[in-house]
Amino acid sequence: MKERDTMKKFSKTDWKVLENMSDDDINFSDIPKLPNAFFKRARLWEPQTKVKVTLELDEDLLEWFKQEKDEWEVRIQRALRLYVETHKEYSKILEA
């Protein structure tokens, strides 16, 4: 297992108990059912190949993403993904 695949924070989860649970043992009562609209908009997402780049950012933007220190690169990736996916949908609407 690669180091990046291991958890960096200590987990309080009792993994042995979870391994022995069946699906029927799981309490879903506090989770609302997803509306049909969710499934109409849902997309299958598969991890993409990562490419290393050098990127210049405004200092305040970088500091904002680094505030929590852990995985700030992942948060930037998610922000860019959200921007792209939102604009793809917007472009489809404009083309219609």
Nearest alpha carbon to residue 88 among 57, 45, 54: 45
Phi, psi of 71 (to 5 degrees): 55, 40
- Residue 12, both tokens: 């309080």
Contact 65, 76 (CB under 8 A): yes
Q: Tens digits of per-residue pLDDT, 71-83?
A: 899 899 999 999 9
In this predicted structure, the answer to whether residue 95 has a pLDDT above a threshold of 80 is no
Q: CA 89, 91, 92, 96: dihedral to nearest 10 degrees?
A: 140
In this predicted structure, the answer to whether residue 7 has a pLDDT above a threshold of 70 is no
* 3-state secondary structure at position 13: coil
In this predicted structure, the answer to whether residue 4 has a pLDDT above a threshold of 60 is no
Q: Tens digits of per-residue pLDDT, 22-68?
A: 999 989 899 999 999 999 888 887 888 989 999 999 999 999 999 97
pLDDT at 6: 63
Neighbours of 64 (CB within 10 A): 14
Nearest alpha carbon to residue 44 among 85, 14, 16, 95: 85
What's the chain's average pLDDT?
A: 85
In this predicted structure, the answer to whether residue 3 has a pLDDT above a threshold of 80 is no
What's the pTM value of the predicted model, to 2 decimals?
0.49
